[in-house]
Structure 1
Amino acid sequence: RLAGGKDDTMRELLAIRLVWDAILFNLRKNMYLEKKWKEVLREASVSAPSADPAHHVDALLQIALEAGYQRQMIGALSRSGRPEEAEIRAEAQAVFCIDVRSEIFRRALETVSPAVRTHGFAGFFGVLAAYHPLGAASPKGHLPILFNPSYRIREAPAGASEEEIGRMAEERRQRIRVSQAWKTFKTSASSCFSFVESFGVLSVGKLLGDSMGWSRSVDHPDTKGLKKGETRLLKPVLDPPRDVAADRGDGSGPSGIPLADRPAVAEFALRNMGLIRNFSRVVLLVGHGSTTTNNPQATALDCGACAGQTGEASARIVALLLNDPVTRKGLAQKGIEIPDDTVFVAGLHDTVTDRVDLYDTEILPPSHDGDIRKLRQWLDAAGQATRMERAAFLGTAGLPAPHVAADVLRRTRDWAEVRPEWALAGNAAFIAAPRARTRHSNLSGRSFLHDYNWQDDVGFSTLQLIMTAPMVVGNWINMQYYGSMVDNLRFGSGNKVLHNVVGGSIGVLEGNGGDLRVGLAMQSLHDGQRWIHEPLRLNVFVEAPQQPIDDVIARHELVRNLIENEWIFFFRISEEGGIFRRLAGQKWQEVSAKS
């Protein structure tokens, strides 16, 4: 429906279930069954008793828990941030995804080098693109699921002819087909036992390596079917193919971003990021992803703004776009002057190891070699600081830095590891404000950080985008964690060790039966001794004038329902640092850390 289509699959499935129940009821009909059926219907139609004293106690405790966190955040944000030194050119700028895990890394990077300025924006970086991997049957959306892709960007080896691209794609598809056929043979009911008896000894080396964490048990989906060395050759291609017939599409139109569109696409991205002036020599776009193995819930660790995939493709696409001379010429005509010595670099933050890899640096001019070398040093130091901070939650607190680094590397390869990282556990706040508001606060990796300067927001279109897209997605994530914790039986998925995946991506069964589960496992919330996540509704803090905020709420029913029904708590930050809470009925109430 988000794409303008129609899908009645769920309704049809429910109809099948109802018909099946009716058939069983008629076949096995008796007085006892009929009586029990009526009792169940009667109980289902009666609301839960609201007068239960235990419910009132639970509600009061929940309010107290949330009020305590709100006072903490109000105290931190009401202190006016130090003004940004806007006229001083930073040595580097780094745009991170708003994911809560980025908050720790951003803080560490700014500590390692105060000359670096960090920014926060949703990890698709403003380009509504679907990415078409080499040899894939169809593209994958690398954007929030609230949006539809405007462009299809294909992946291809750099500098290759269309004939070479087609041959390489076909070879990859062939390897994948052979691999799938071999896997089917090994696991089928008719051949699995004879296979183990005949060839099992040949798997001893791999079994030992995978068990000891020396190798990955399976290839990463993004590299499946590729030879060693081919992966580093593949890049996003912004230009359409010279031979349109060679553009293997899926009905979604030709690939690439037309030259005429590029300035407008880049302007949309930069203005919504808040990057419209004072560019540094190096601007780093940092997507994020997670490296794990034997993990059916791996997409829950990747980027929500990229539809549950890593942010690598998005970062590389936008970096290529902003380095394009045609794009820059068009941007200058729109009032955004990017200096000739500014380069954009794509990176990927691995949220398990806290390592940041840089991409496509070989195409940068030699004049920036020193800048890139210095940037890598800062990123390595920030990664170490981030790992040491996260060690307290991973059972490695107090160990030397090399031991902590070795432990997180082990987690990427250990097929028995049920807690490779904590993902977004602990999320509790969404902040859209200038970085000066939060730069000197330790937010403990619990806040979605979106840079926003309302003075630069002509018509408040960026404010509307923030409140209708990333804020809403933040609420979805927050509610997934909240529901999975407070009622894991209904909204979570139980014990991860017992999971059996159903249909590839439909859900899981816990063991060999029970209900289909789609929520988070207990291992994503609890470390075996204590809860890592706190069940708090999302606290949204936006620094902007009251009237445009009221206008967005009035125009968008979804946003209004979230706020007025208290699925989220919405606070406005004034320029002077005052905090005002939005109440039902278009009312605002000033609050403080003491109230």
Structure 2
Amino acid sequence: MTTRKTATVTRLHSNRSPESSVIREALSKSVKRIAPLWSLEHFVAVNPFLGFTDEPFDRAARRVSLACDAQLLMPRAFYREALRSGRMLTSDIESTLQQSSHAAETGLKTVMDALQKERDLDSRKALISCADVAQQISGHDWPATIVERVSHWASGYFDAGQASWPSPFRDLRPYEAWRREVAIDCSDTVMGLAEAQAIFAELPDTPEDVCEHVLQKLGVPEELLDLYLHRLLSSIGGWVAYARYQSWGQELAGESPKWVVDLLAIRLCWELVLLKELSTDGSEMAWRRALQLQRANADLMRSLSVDEAVDQVLQEAFEYAWQRQAIGALANSQAQETTDGASARPSAQAVFCIDVRSEVLRRAIEAAGEDVETLGFAGFFGLPIEYQPLAGEGGEAHCPVLLSPAIAVQESLRGQSLEMTNRLSRRIRLRRHLSNGWRAFKNSAVSCFVFVESYGLAYAFKLAAHTLGISRPEPHPAHRGLPPNLARELGPQLTPVDGIGGGIGIESQIDFAQSMLKGMSLTEGFARVVMLAGHGSCTTNNAHATGLDCGACGGQTGEASARLAAMILNNPPVRKGLKERDIDVPEDTVFVAALHNTTTDVVELFDLDAVPVSHAKDISELQSQLLEAGEQAREERSKLLAFAPGTDLLKAVNAKSRDWSEVRPEWGLAGCAGFIAAPRSITRSIDLQGQAFLHSYDYRQDPDFSILELIMTAPMVVASWISLQYYGSTVDNKVFGSGNKTLHNVVGGSLGVLEGNGGDLRVGLPMQSVHNGEKFIHEPRRLSVFLAAPISAINRILEKHPQLRQLADNGWLHLFAVYDEGKVVARYTGELQWASAKLDDASMVAAES
């Protein structure tokens, strides 16, 4: 017996550790596995699968299972219900099998038989870490303990002003700061890890060296290295995501996300501690055996079982069902378009963000005024600005997170002197300091318990008033406590005023104006009034409030961008410069900025005092149409908001936006499924039910297809991020979402939320953002993209941008080509190949020369 055991130990220890170069390469790849998580002040949609879009979607499902202990597909009961309700048809499964790469492993009978049973989850067990092995041996939940220890340290290190005693080592890199703290922390000894201090003291100085040192000590074989590192990162995925966000600017500049490797090093250190501390209990032997047994997991990454292939077919069929209906609607849209005569000149044009919530309001506006034309464009209007609010302590990026701000714009009080502006600035700053001081008093260790006794009765009426809905309306957060009429006078300045702001030079203004107008395919046929509408949300007591604002504006409202865009386009020297560049904007065309409140569907116009008197009637008519459109949009959205029949909807949605206890003030982008870049004439007669991003695009005005390239590499990618964030938060909210909103606690001031009083930092959307308590309001579908452009142009852009091509080739989104009359003629099948638009026809379409 003794001899056999010794031989086993020798054999298990004989595994060669990976070479240093292999480990370094694996580290370089692994630090990008976890997607970044923006802070609550700038919470924007992020593709949670950003780190493995270089893998096909079906293989990623296996990776998610092994590395994240999560699911990438819905339970089969979901697909059974979709089939029963008619949201998916048996013919959809049949058609999917004709084009699916999994047709060889499955057939209709196999799929239908498997659909009646739940999938076998035993084959999808996650990769085991050393902490998991220690738990099996000791009975103590070491994985949870490690998460708590890392989370406790990280919340102090990354704190943004909430902690009374923040980490004294925040000026150091995360790994070095952690080493300093654990050197004086006795918690490990209390937990029974007597040797932890000695182990930590002997660690190398840099996180990269630590990772290499620990991996060699653990003996992780090369074939498991990628999965193992991903498994450790996902175990503290929320804090890793926040660390990656902190270095996102470095990534945009081409550097590696350094802080992520720091957290990976910290997590690896805990693996080493547990291996050594519990070696007398047999954990080291169990760990070596686990490594041997899990080598099979590396093989599982290379092939899918029949059971997994069935699940992929069901998801593809569910998405096919939506595509079938969308393609049919697009094909039928031309019938109405040919019978409707268009006026020579629209009475007004309204440019909205491509956000899916705009689709509902655009239809309503067009119904309210048949000669009103609507367009779709990214909500930052092509202006990558850093906006400096009055009395602000720093600039805010008002542009997509894929971009870096190119210009700085400062807010000021319009039409007022420098003295008045400075006085208002001091007023705002004083209110902020008083508010911060009051909040600090309430939260301090000395007063938090006596606060209720001292002020409870004074707050009783306020609490009851909020609960019963009889309180005064809360001011919009953007007003910063100022009276609304004064707050409206705050705005961006196009040129320096009394030394305030740097301004934007005329040539730059002309460049931006040309780019804007070409980007929205609006270079001729201008109306007398062109409304540029940004959007924002107004909610109360909502940690993820900025996630309901404009993602194109970096989680801010689109007000500043819209107002600045209107100023530029109304500037006479800019109009002259545009004319010299063959864009002739009529002298009687006026651009007006607006903000669409997506919670209430109220549209507010700005800077009307700058509109000529000659356009007063045009503005009045537009405002009447916006009021009527708002009523219609609220009526449509009320179907999902569970209002009683006969409810005053405007009053109800206003109350909903002010209700501090409301967990679903609006549904945001729930339901998003498609992206259409085409002239509005193709989609104007279609009810897309608020499920499609609509970007105006006319390839005939884009001879070099530079606008198409911009659309595909920016708005289309951002829409895909949004789609996949909702997808992940739906299929596995525990891992890719943020759980129950009512249990959230904001940590670090604005870093993010914990669910309850501990655990990892949560990512993604709350369950209440995708589920109404009875059913999913958002149903997971990968984005279906319809481009009204030549296939040859689309292919050239895909070939030019490898990361974009990965999304399409690996099935993270679906691509379709549309002809002028709205007919979808081809679908992308990968490797720059296209098939017939008839989704049940596998015949290939010849690429255009």
Fold-level match, TM-score > 0.5?
yes
3-state secondary structure, aligned to 2:344: coil
Among candidates 553, 560, 575, match of residue 328 of structure 1? 575
Aligned to 2:253: 4
TM-score normalized by the length of structure 2: 0.66
Partner of 1:101: 357
1:214-266 CA-to-partner distances (Å, cap 9, x unmatched) read 447976442225356431221111102443xxx4xxxxxx6221123211111
Say which of 307, 313, 323 aligns to 1:60: 313
Residue 827 of structure 2, aligned match among 571, 581, 589: 581
The match for 1:141 among 397, 400, 409 is 397
Inter-partner Cα distance in structure 1 for 2:709 and 2:609:
38
Decide whether the 8 Å contact of 1:355 with 1:380 is kept in 2: yes
What residue number does 1:523 align with?
Answer: 768
Are 2:694 and 1:441 aligned? Answer: no
> Secondary structure of 1:230's partner?
helix
Deviations 1:512-567 (A, max 9, x none): 23332111111111111111111111100000112111110000011110010010
Partner of 1:13: 263
Residue equivalent to 1:204:
460
Rounded to whole Å, the distance in 2 between the matches of 1:286 and 1:44 is 55
CA distance in 1, matches of 2:568, 2:677: 26
Q: Determine if contact 1:546/1:572 at 8 Å carries over to the other structure.
A: yes
Q: Distance in 2 between matches of 1:334 and 1:51?
A: 56
Kindly state the Cα deviation for residue 455 of structure 1 after the two structures are TM-superposed: 0.2
Decide whether the 8 Å contact of 1:217 with 1:294 is kept in 2.
no
The residue identity in structure 1 corresponding to 2:327 is I
CA distance in 1, matches of 2:603, 2:290: 55
Q: Which amino acid aligns with 1:375?
A: L
Residue in structure 1 matching 2:784, options 539, 548, 560: 539
Structure 2 match to 1:259: 506
Structure with the bigger percentage of helix: 2
Counterpart residue number, 2:131:
none
- Report the Cα distance in structure 2 between the residues aligned to 1:427 and 1:36, rounded to whole angstroms: 47
Residues 816 and 824 in structure 2, CA contact (< 8 A), matched pair in contact too: no
**Equivalences, count:** 584
SS in 1 for 2:600: coil
Q: Indicate which of 346, 366, 373 corresponds to 1:110.
A: 366
User: For the structure 1 residues 42 and 278, does the alpha-carbon distance in structure 2 shift closer, same or farther, using more than 3 Å as the test?
Assistant: farther
Rg bigger for which structure?
Answer: 2
Structure 2 CA distance for partners of 1:217 and 1:373, relative to 1, 3 Å: closer
Task: In structure 1, give the amino acid aligned to 2:825.
Answer: I
Structure 1 counterpart of 2:655: 410
Letter in 2 for 1:538: L
CA RMSD of aligned residues (A): 2.2
Structure number with the higher strand fraction is: 1
Shift of 1:403: 2.4
- Rounded to whole Å, the distance in 2 between the matches of 1:453 and 1:281 is 22
Q: Which of 272, 295, 312 does residue 22 from structure 1 map onto?
A: 272
CA shift, 1:582, in A, is 1.3
Counterparts in 2 of 1:321 and 1:532: CA distance versus 1, 3 Å:
same
**Which range moves more in the overlay, 22-31 or 508-517?**
22-31
- Aligned pair 1:487/2:743, yes or no? no
Task: Report sequence identity in percent.
Answer: 47
1:121 aligns with 2:374: no
In structure 1, distance between residues paired with 2:477 and 2:635: 30
Residue 356 of structure 1: how far off its partner (Å): 0.7
- Partner residue of 1:343? 590
* Map of 2:838 onto structure 1: 592
Mark the CA change 1:218 to 1:287 in structure 2 (over 3 Å): closer, same or farther: same
**Aligned equivalents of 1:509, 1:284: Cα separation in 2:** 41
Q: Deviation digits for residues 148-183 of structure 1, max 9, x if unmatched?
A: 222111111112223332332233112211210111
Q: Which runs of 5+ in 2 are unaligned?
A: 1-249, 842-849
**C-alpha distance in 2, partners of 1:36/1:85?**
77
1:564 matched to 2:814: no
Indicate conservation of the 8 Å contact 2:278/2:284, yes or no: no
Say if 2:550 and 2:556, in contact at 8 Å, map to a contact too: yes
Task: Structure 1: state its 5+ residue gaps.
Answer: 248-253
1:554 to 794, 799, 803: 799
Aligned 1:235-384 pairs, distance under 5 A: 235-243=491-499, 247=500, 255-384=502-631
What secondary structure does 1:348 align onto?
Answer: strand
- Check the 8 A contact 1:86/1:278 in 2, yes or no: no
Q: Which amino acid aligns with 1:403?
A: D
Which position in structure 1 is the counterpart of 2:331?
A: 78
Report if aligned partners of 1:131, 1:142 keep a CA contact under 8 Å in 2: yes
What is the TM-score normalised by the length of structure 1?
0.93
Work out the CA distance in 2 between the residues paired with 1:440 and 1:117. Answer: 12
Q: d(CA) in 2 for partners of 1:116 and 1:335?
A: 25
SS at match of 2:533: strand
Q: Identify the range of structure 1 (153-162 vs 283-292) with the bigger mean alpha-carbon deviation.
A: 153-162
Match of 1:465, SS?
helix
Which secondary structure does the structure 2 equivalent of 1:257 belong to?
coil
Question: How has the CA–CA distance of structure 1 residues 318 and 533 changed in structure 2, closer, same or farther, with 3 Å as cutoff?
Answer: same
Distance 1:381 1:227, change over 3 A: closer
Alpha carbons of structure 1 residues 594 and 386: separation in structure 2 relative to 1, 3 Å? farther
> How much does 1:36 deviate?
4.7
**Residues 192, 515 of structure 1: alpha-carbon distance in 2 compared, 3 angstrom cutoff:** closer
Between the aligned partners of 1:112 and 1:303, the Cα distance in structure 2 is 25
Counterpart of 1:250 in structure 2 is none
Preserved contact between residue 100 and residue 427 of structure 1 (Cα < 8 Å): yes
How many Å apart are 1:86 and its aligned residue?
A: 7.0
Question: Does the 8 A contact of 2:594 with 2:604 survive in 1?
Answer: yes
1:389 shift after superposition: 0.9
Q: Distance in 2 between matches of 1:80 and 1:592?
A: 17
**Post-superposition offset of 1:140:** 0.8
